[in-house]
Amino acid sequence: MTLMLNLCVCLLFGLEATGTRQNDQRTAVIGGRVLASKHGADQRHLPMGKPVSARDLPCRSVLHNSFDQRLLAQASVPAMPRRQDFVVAGHKVFVIEPPPESRRKGRLPWVWYAPTFIGRYPNEQEQWMFDRFHAAGIGVAGVDVGESHGSPQGRDIYQSLYEELTQKRGYAEKPILLGRSRGGLMLYSWAAEHPSCVGGIAGIYPVCNVKTYPGLERAAAEYGITAEQLEERIADYNPIDRLSGLAKAKVPIFHLQGDQDDVVPLEMNSAIVEKRYRALGGTVTVEVMKGQGHNLWKGWFQSPRLTEFIISQAWKSNESASKLDSAKAARD
């Protein structure tokens, strides 16, 4: 199964399964951090010719109950992913499942995306990644909790979604978390409470420090406490202070971050995560894009390395869980 996974990843990206190419002079790996020039990120993607199967070319995702007609016009696709919208704990949820041609037996591996604002996020920026997730037999889901800023109330709704998908809909028990901007704060807050339920964490300029965004005043309003109370209990809420459980659970982390980001500053967010997580013995990679800020540059959303990390971890976590289930069934 591992060999098949590596082959699938290689076919999807045209890259070695190890990710970063040794002879790519535009990119240097220092420790776990990848330093890339502004235009140096590998932007290769699959050719838009007629696919032989769903695994050869990504299928079109269904975003906002629709899909990008321009993308669809570029390729003949054998089947569409299936989108469902429903409500969990009074909040709107979306799930986009891969077409039958891409699915494998067993639980459905999935990517948990945040922030989810139905009708706004996710959107066309994520299309490239979602296509590849679906081609690899991986679903995508999210729940709209509004501007929760990682509050306990928002975490409770996240837990309701997790239970709905894993206990009632056959989804894998260890999703890969994909946080874009403030989505990082939401997902890290849930992950810190449930580290054994996380297969990996991926981030696109993710917020990891509530002090930098949205700031204590705005966050406290969602937490139902004062800014002073939040400051006093910051270690109980702030993701950068709650990494030990994730490291102990051996959850790998991969972030993309710009060195010119004035909304989610590198040194106060991903750089702190990297330093502290490595000190805790965790596996972490921060790919720093030189000259990039908090913007819609396509390199954030069409990164083969980030997408490969997510796909590989989704299947690796799912296979590990399947082995444990089989062993338990054999004992019973």
| DSSP character at residue 63 | B
Q: What is the pLDDT of residue 217?
A: 97
Least confident of 57-66, 219-228, 256-265: 57-66
Query: Is the pLDDT confidence value at 71 over 80?
Result: no
Beta strands 82-88 and 110-114, pairing class: unpaired
Confidence of residue 331 (pLDDT cuts 50, 70, 90): low
Confidence of residue 320 (pLDDT cuts 50, 70, 90): low
Name every residue whose Cβ is closer than 8 Å to that of residue 29 and which is 6 or more positions away in sequence: 20, 35
Query: Helix, strand, or coil here: 26?
Result: coil
Omega of the bond leading into 115 within 30 degrees of 0 (cis): yes
Residue 37, classified by CB atoms within 10 Å of its CB into exposed (0-12), middle (13-18) or buried (19+), is middle
CA-CA distance, 89 to 64, in Å (whole number)? 21
Percent of the chain residues past pLDDT 90, beyond the cut: 70
Place of tokens 């409770």: 156
Of 94, 109, 103, nearest in space to 63 by CA = 94
Confidence of residue 319 (pLDDT cuts 50, 70, 90): confident
CA-CA distance, 55 to 138, in Å (whole number)? 11
198 contacts 191 by C-beta, under 8 angstroms: yes
The mean pLDDT value for 233-241 works out to 97
CA-CA distance, 276 to 15, in Å (whole number)? 30
CA-CA distance, 121 to 90, in Å (whole number)? 19
Place of tokens 């054994």: 196
The secondary structure of 94-158 as a DSSP string is EEEEPPGGG--SSSB-EEEEE--BTTTBS-GGGHHHHHHHHHTT-EEEEE---S-TT-HHHHHHH
Beta strands 91-97 and 139-143, pairing class: antiparallel
